[in-house]
Structure 1
Amino acid sequence: MAHPIMFDEADPVLRRVRALALALPDAAEKISHGRPAFFTTKIFAYYGGSVKVDGSYLQHEQSVLVLVDLGEREALIGDDRCYVPAYLGSSGWIGLDLREDTDWDEVAELIDASYRRTAGPRSVAVLDARAPAS
């Protein structure tokens, strides 16, 4: 049974997340469980997520899910924009609601960090080679 599509292709927030994710070396997009998923060899970001509340799922339509390390997860979990997504939360993923006042530099950093945790060393080397010398 196929999952229903749970996003709007015309969503401007998705457009911004997609631009950030697909700008990374070897990144591609696929639909997984009805949501856009961005990957290289493994998924590094999802658009949209949910949490289970009293036996029902509460959807976070405009959010990005990323894989973070434990220290960063602890820091983010106290932020009212963040949530532990159903199914993926136990594996180190965190959801960040994207609002009008979203700091897109922060979103880019979180997507970059998640990418670095999942992409192969050659892809990460290509990304590092793009970085301007300081």
Structure 2
Amino acid sequence: MPAASTPDDAAHLGELRRLALAFPGAEERVSHGRVTFRARLLFAVHGGMTKATTTSPARQYPDALLVKVDPAEEAALAQDPRFFVPAYYGPAGWLGLDLEAAPVDWQEVAELLDMSYREVAGPRLVARLDAEGSPAGRRS
């Protein structure tokens, strides 16, 4: 397995890993140099970037969370300056949250992970999540 471009001691990766792996069937993999979390399909990525445009260069976000968002939530989240449209993932309904832009609200992160998981995990895993309880509903 290739090494991740984000070291294991990255500022927020430990807590992100703890939350993401609490979802039923979740597993961690490194893909394209990034730590990713999947349950059947990809539901979260640590780190990302924007695409370059004619008016701005590509921007790296090494400590960010990329999630697939509910289409009903996408416009509201995109208005928040902490969020960005990630390269490659953006056209498929993903947004990135810059974890360095402000103090991290881990409840918000858990809710974003829950939303993304529900978008991709499939009915059996979502039913299991509902039966067992989501990490977004648990207080640590």
TM-score (norm 1): 0.89
Matched letter for residue 31 of structure 1? V
Deviates more, 1:106-115 or 1:122-131: 122-131
Matched letter for residue 50 of structure 2? V
1:22 aligns with 2:21: yes
1:109 alignment partner, SS class: helix
Map of 1:10 onto structure 2: 9
1:121 CA displacement: 1.7
1:122 CA displacement: 1.8
1:57 CA displacement: 3.1
Matched letter for residue 75 of structure 2? E
Matched letter for residue 6 of structure 1? S
Structure number having the greater strand percentage: 1
Match of 1:108 among 101, 107, 110: 110
TM-score (norm 2): 0.85
Deviates more, 1:5-14 or 1:51-60: 51-60
Unaligned runs of 5+ in 2: none
Alignment partners' CA distance in 1, 2:98 and 2:21: 20
- Encode CA deviations 1:25-70: one digit per residue, 9 max, x unaligned: 0000111111011001100000000012357532101110000122
Give the % identical residues: 46
Deviates more, 1:8-17 or 1:110-119: 8-17
Alignment partners' CA distance in 1, 2:33 and 2:97: 18
User: What does 1:40-119 correspond to in 2, within 5 Å?
Assistant: 40-54=39-53, 56-99=57-100, 101-119=103-121
Matched letter for residue 19 of structure 1? R
Unaligned runs of 5+ in 1: none
Matched letter for residue 70 of structure 1? P
